[in-house]
Structure 1
Amino acid sequence: MTTSKQFFDELLHQITVYETQEAKEIVFWLLEHELGLKKIDILSNRPINSTKSIDWDSIVKRLNNHEPIQYILGETTFYGRRFLVDDSVLIPRPETEELVDYVCEWEKKTNRIESEKKVIDIGTGSGCIAISLAKELSNAQVWAYDISEKALVTAQKNADLNQAANVSFEKVDILQYLSNGAQSKLRFDIIVSNPPYVTKQEAAQMRSNVLNFEPHLALFVEDNDPLIFYQAIANFAIQTLKEDGLVIVEINESLGEETAGVFSRAGFSETEVIKDLHQKNRFVRAAFLKR
């Protein structure tokens, strides 16, 4: 009978395109998802039942083709919750969890954590930010926009999966929203976004598991207009944010001050570039001191 450690080592040996430590983490994740084996089960070298019902060769082939493990399994975790993912949505990153952290801490500092609030997530993708805020903030009603119908289908599945009935999804192209004469009647307490911000010239520096599999619609902007989404978000926010509200967006780390400048020029009197835990420019916060 095969033991858990033997099977782990066998799979690890077959995955050749990742560094050893990353490959180990992938195999740990794979065995937990497919066989229910925790890391302690694997390391304790327990006997395991037959694994023949799973097409391991296909999984290994996809991994060695640089397909992300999250797409192979069809799910990932974000802020302690399970989220479905497919190639219509970006895979949520751990760094983006810090955006949710910031909003929750800001609400506590302003003594509004229990108050009713309206939140909007622009470019919601999998819905991970919108749904996490809907679950973490008491009495929050959350709206989530995206241009991709397929992404919105996935996001709605994630809202159902996480029992986030207080999230409403809508197909909206934020780049065309105001130019089409649309005006939101809603006024928001919090506006968040993780929009496309990678320039096409930066694509050469990206890993193939991102470049070849994740949706380019959600990743890239033109080299000659890298802040186009932030301009649209700022214009939307200046019309819809409440006087004591918060805007926070994830950014291209090389364009921190430039992104903050977009919000300053739009009319926000308070802007700040925020670093993540790795001390990289990760977010821009904008607010009104006076309106």
Structure 2
Amino acid sequence: MLLKDFLRDGEKALEGLYPAAEARSIMLMLCEAIVGTKSYTHIIEPSFTIPHKDESTLLEALRRLSEGEPVQYVIGRTDFCGNSFRVTPDVLIPRPETEILCREAIRTGSRMSASRSAFGKDAQPVRILDLCTGSGCIAWTMALNIPRCRVLGVDISDAALEVARSQTFPGSAPGPDFRPPVFMKADVLDPGTVFDGGPFDLILSNPPYVMDSQKAQMRPNVLDNEPHLALFVPDDDPLKFYRSIAAISHEYLAEGGEGLTEINDLLGKETSEVFSAAGFSRVSLLKDLFGRNRFVSYAR
């Protein structure tokens, strides 16, 4: 089977689910993951033949894609902040918007780390709490990018925590003071939960925030495949996670510490008011790549 023919047939099979450009991108991603080809292989090598050993794997993968399963679940990985993360249907697929949260947190955490470097070996590491960690993409990104930091990732799902703990990054070269995140099972909505390792200099979160009434606006491939536990909140109490995050931050955020959380862009004002009412200073809304209110930052 020629690569160019498989790509053409695959795009046709997906045309009812995705725009043409996205369908092509999905097919190229699939072939790169399974065969090792590049996005231009079929162009510069039009006679490239898919190895026989990969044919059945590709055809089964295409069947799953044509049924609406996201390509990231089919190949089991996704790129995020320069690293490849393992993903399964037990965790959300990390979005580009969350990369913005990570970039902001890395800047803040690196600044904190640099300001303590004058103390040498006696310097206290930057301590970070990641609530609703899911795949661990935020927790691991912090650990890999902020010198000497210590990260605690929290989730209620055993299956998500298994994914988070299983992440490996063979191509990365962490420094000598690198420590992998610690992950614990906990319900962030339970006011009795105790988070070891605090106080924390950074508290980060990408909690469930999509209202049930917004389900009708979502693509079937997301609605039918990604975990609802990590996505949705009831319309009659859409800010419940943010009240808990604010309460946890009130107890565990260190003096001079900062928090950053991803939000529903329809509830930007209401979400920021939750943190203002909890007594935090410098509460502000930050925008995503499309100019929508997507994050709330706050400080103690």
TM-score by length of 1: 0.92
Q: Which residue of 2 aligns with 1:7?
A: 6
Q: Which residue of 2 aligns with 1:241?
A: 253
- Structure 1 residue matching 2:184: 3-state secondary structure: strand
Q: Which residue of 2 aligns with 1:85?
A: 87
| Residue 31 of structure 2 is aligned to residue 31 of structure 1 | yes
Query: Given that residues 113 and 138 in structure 1 are in contact (C-alpha distance below 8 angstroms), is that contact kept between their aligned partners in structure 2?
Result: no
Aligned with residue 156 of structure 1, among 165, 168, 173: 165
Aligned with residue 184 of structure 2, among 170, 177, 189: 170
Query: Given that residues 149 and 179 in structure 2 are in contact (C-alpha distance below 8 angstroms), is that contact kept between their aligned partners in structure 1?
Result: no
User: Sequence identity, in percent?
Assistant: 39
Instruction: Assess, with a 3 A threshold, how the Cα gap between structure 1 residues 184 and 235 changes in structure 2: closer, same or farther.
Output: farther
Q: Which residue of 1 aligns with 2:120?
A: none
Aligned with residue 275 of structure 2, among 234, 259, 263: 263
Query: Given that residues 263 and 271 in structure 2 are in contact (C-alpha distance below 8 angstroms), is that contact kept between their aligned partners in structure 1?
Result: yes
In 2: Cα distance, 1:226 partner to 1:113 partner: 38
Deviations 1:33-66 (A, max 9, x none): 1110011212212422434543333322221211
1:257 Cα deviation from its structure 2 partner = 1.1
In 2: Cα distance, 1:212 partner to 1:60 partner: 17
Instruction: Assess, with a 3 A threshold, how the Cα gap between structure 1 residues 160 and 106 changes in structure 2: closer, same or farther.
Output: closer
Task: Count residues with an aligned counterpart.
Answer: 285
Aligned with residue 137 of structure 2, among 87, 110, 128: 128
In 2: Cα distance, 1:113 partner to 1:123 partner: 28
Task: Give the counterpart letter for 1:273 in structure 2.
Answer: L
In 1: Cα distance, 2:257 partner to 2:251 partner: 12
Q: Which residue of 1 aligns with 2:237?
A: 225
In 1: Cα distance, 2:180 partner to 2:115 partner: 18
Task: Give the counterpart letter for 1:95 in structure 2.
Answer: E
Query: Given that residues 83 and 169 in structure 2 are in contact (C-alpha distance below 8 angstroms), is that contact kept between their aligned partners in structure 1?
Result: no
Question: Where do 4+ consecutive residues of structure 1 move more than 6 Å?
Answer: 160-164
Query: Given that residues 76 and 82 in structure 1 are in contact (C-alpha distance below 8 angstroms), is that contact kept between their aligned partners in structure 2?
Result: yes
- Structure 2 residue matching 1:175: 3-state secondary structure: coil
In 2: Cα distance, 1:113 partner to 1:100 partner: 21
In 1: Cα distance, 2:84 partner to 2:25 partner: 18
1:3 Cα deviation from its structure 2 partner = 3.8
For structure 1, list consecutive stretches of 5 or more residues without a partner in the other structure. none
Aligned with residue 276 of structure 1, among 288, 291, 294: 288
Instruction: Assess, with a 3 A threshold, how the Cα gap between structure 1 residues 222 and 213 changes in structure 2: closer, same or farther.
Output: same
Q: Which residue of 2 aligns with 1:208?
A: 220
- Structure 2 residue matching 1:39: 3-state secondary structure: coil
Deviations 1:238-280 (A, max 9, x none): 1111111110000000111111110111110220000012111
Instruction: Assess, with a 3 A threshold, how the Cα gap between structure 1 residues 42 and 243 changes in structure 2: closer, same or farther.
Output: same
| Residue 251 of structure 2 is aligned to residue 250 of structure 1 | no
Query: Given that residues 263 and 295 in structure 2 are in contact (C-alpha distance below 8 angstroms), is that contact kept between their aligned partners in structure 1?
Result: yes
In 2: Cα distance, 1:7 partner to 1:142 partner: 44
In 1: Cα distance, 2:116 partner to 2:288 partner: 23
Q: Which residue of 1 aligns with 2:298?
A: 286
Aligned with residue 61 of structure 1, among 52, 60, 63: 63
TM-score by length of 2: 0.89
